[in-house]
Amino acid sequence: MKAKLVADSSANHHTLDTMDVTYVPLKIITDEKEYTDNSALDAEEMLAELSRCKGNSGTACPGAGDWLNAFEGADTVLGVSITSGLSGSYNAAVVAAEEYRNRYPDARVFILDTLSTGPEMQLILEKYHQLLEEGKDFDEICAEVKEYLHHTHLIFSLASLDNFAKNGRVSPAVAKAVGILGIRVVGRASDEGTLESQHKCRGEKRALRCLVATMKEMGYHGGKVRITHTFNEKGASSLASSLKALWPEMDLSVSPNRGLCSYYAEMGGILVAFES
Ligand code: X90
């Protein structure tokens, strides 16, 4: 079996021990320039250019053709996408899956709509990898990963929702309340796969405490945690230390957001995916 793991770039390009992941890039687009969210993108430079650029900006999901190219060469495709509640990426992947099966009738393709993004997609990729290593067959893997998604969650602390509002992915009223200096919005990916703002916190310290409390409320009890951040190593490490103090045995990693998540989470943003 030649199995391939495929994800759109909102999963933040991370590596697995013994297997490659093929990433399908989203794009970040301004009046002046188009950024492709691949491994060559310099996200810091992109954010600096975006903050200087007065005009509009937005994003675009991959097309079916991009997903199709990524599937090429596999007889089994295990894919994962950003939430269909905010992006067309999942739909494009489903169209591509259909076309791939037409081209190669023996091929098996499964795409999971995470109703989430970023580090929660990382947890899913790790789960696919684990199940393959355990020698599970295609149907078992699909069933188990769907079940796993009931036990993974995404919460966040963001200092700005400007880019969400600009793209009509959150209401202007919600975005405005966060724009105030020093205010962080803490919330989660809703069951529908949209942004749900839950608390406004004054200052990062309070926001980080709020994240820990939210994890406990949502049933975290020592499972895996994946933290990603947009140029906020300090905040992410401080959160990691607070968690380690409570659950010393936990499996935790901290890594940077890449292009797409950096664009929406903006400077200082922290995303936390965890198992319940
Ligand atoms: O198709 C496109 O153009 C991409 C649209 C993506 C919109 C959402 C990106 C979210 C990035 C920000 C914080 C977490 C929010 C969670 C909501 C599910 C990460």
Question: Tens digits of per-residue pLDDT, 102-154?
Answer: 999 999 999 999 999 999 999 999 999 999 999 999 999 999 999 999 999 99
What residue's CA is closest to ligand 1, atom 13? 265
Whole-number Å distance, alpha carbon 98 to ligand 1 midpoint, is: 25
Per the prediction, the chain carries an average pLDDT of 96
Residue 184 predicted with pLDDT over 70: yes
Given the structure tokens 């966060």, which residue do they identify?
178
Residue 211 tokens read as 């994240």
Between CA 275 and CA 160, with CA 195 as vertex, the angle to 5 degrees is 110
Q: Give the residue whose CA is nearest to atom 19 of ligand 1.
A: 261
Ligand 1 centroid vs 8 CA: distance in angstroms?
Answer: 12
Q: Which of 30, 57, 59 to mutate to test the pocket of ligand 1 (most atoms within 8 A of CB)?
A: 59
The pLDDT score that the predictor gives to residue 18 is 85
Residue 179 has pLDDT above 80, yes or no: no
Q: Which ligand 1 atom is the nearest neighbour of the CA of 59? A: 3
Band of pLDDT at residue 172, cut at 50, 70 and 90: confident
Q: Report if pTM > 0.95.
A: yes
Q: DSSP letters of 146-180?
A: HHHGGGEEEEEEES--HHHHHTTSS-HHHHHHH-S
Q: Which of 148, 137, 169 is nearest to 10 (CA)?
A: 169
Examine the pLDDT at 181 and tell me if it is beyond 90.
no
The pLDDT of 186-210, averaged and rounded, is 97
- Cβ of residue 186 lying under 6 Å from some atom of ligand 1: no
Is the CB of 63 inside a 6 Å radius of any atom of ligand 1?
no
Token pair 């650029």: residue: 53
* Span from the CA of 261 to the centroid of ligand 1 (angstroms): 7
Mean pLDDT of 153-161: 97
Model confidence over 35-70: pLDDT tens digits?
999 999 999 999 999 999 888 999 999 999 999 999
Residues of the chain above pLDDT 90, percent? 90
Pocket probe mutation, ligand 1, options 260, 270, 274, max atoms within 8 Å of Cβ: 260
Cα-to-centroid distance, 106 and ligand 1 (Å): 34
Atom of ligand 1 nearest to the CA of 190: 18
In 3D space, the residue among 198, 15, 188 whose CA is nearest the CA of residue 115 turns out to be 188
Asked if residue 86 has its Cβ within 6 Å of ligand 1, the reply is yes
- The confidence score (pLDDT) of residue 174 equals 84
- Is the CB of 273 within 6 Å of ligand 1? no
The whole-angstrom separation of Cα 183 and Cα 203 is 6
Q: What beta strand segments (E) does the chain contain? A: 3-8, 21-24, 27-30, 34-36, 57-60, 76-81, 108-113, 152-158, 183-189, 195-202, 225-229, 252-256, 270-275
Question: Which ligand 1 atom lies nearest to the CA of residue 87?
Answer: 1
* Per-residue pLDDT reduced to its tens digit, 78-106: 999 999 999 999 999 999 999 999 999 99
Centroid of ligand 1 to alpha carbon of 159 (angstroms): 15
pLDDT of residue 1: 64
